[in-house]
Amino acid sequence: MAGPRPVVLSGPSGAGKSTLLKRLLKDFEGVFGFSVSHTTRSPRPGEVNGKDYHFVTREEMQRGIDGGDFIEHAVFSGNMYGTSKWAVQAVQAQNQICILDIDMQGVKNIKKTDLNPIYISIHPPSVPILEKRLRDRNTESVESLQKRLQAAISDIEISKEPGLFDEIIVNDDLEEAYSKLQEVLQQEISAVQSSKDS
């Protein structure tokens, strides 16, 4: 695939991925882009096809998966979700670094493709801190919070497998985590910026 190397960002809910991402997008406007995922679920009010998701039928999605058009896909709550090769290429074609915010299952799927991204895992400082962050959001039932924590513990363990990630960033101090993230991506950021200037 031509264009800047994509970035696979993974990490449990509450580790601070979204916060780090928002800051990266703000500080480096026009350098990063998101691939638009495909899903078989129905659009929620206000969601736009092609912007929030590519909304497709199960048959269309299955045909694409069978045809090798997807770099990763998974099923959540009975609906299929996935990232297509052309969604990533569309971002690269604009000379942007494509960010893929992906779960552990997706990371393992991408390892089997020729995508060659930079793999980064964001970890919380500890499980108790993660639990507190999730509780403070007040968006989870006790049962759903426990499920998220179990999934997080399992993801953190898997992410330590040698060679799975290029970089593991522990988000203990936001400033430190952010500067580490910038450092890991600096080479790609510089390449994109200098090609936009020329």
CA 155 to the chain's CA centroid: 14
From the list 5, 41, 133, 148, the catalytic residue is 148
From the list 23, 41, 44, 58, the catalytic residue is 44
The question of whether 148 is a catalytic residue gets the answer yes
Beta strands in 70-187 (DSSP E): 70-76, 79-84, 97-101, 118-123, 167-170
Is 107:113 a contact under the CB 8 Å cutoff? no
Rounded to whole angstroms, the Cα distance separating 118 from 102 reads 13
Rounded to whole angstroms, the Cα distance separating 97 from 117 reads 10
Is 55:43 a contact under the CB 8 Å cutoff? yes
The question of whether 5 is a catalytic residue gets the answer no
Which residue, among 114, 141, 145, has the nearest Cα to 131 in the 3D structure?
145
The question of whether 137 is a catalytic residue gets the answer yes
Beta-ladder partners of 76: 79
Active site residues: 44, 137, 148
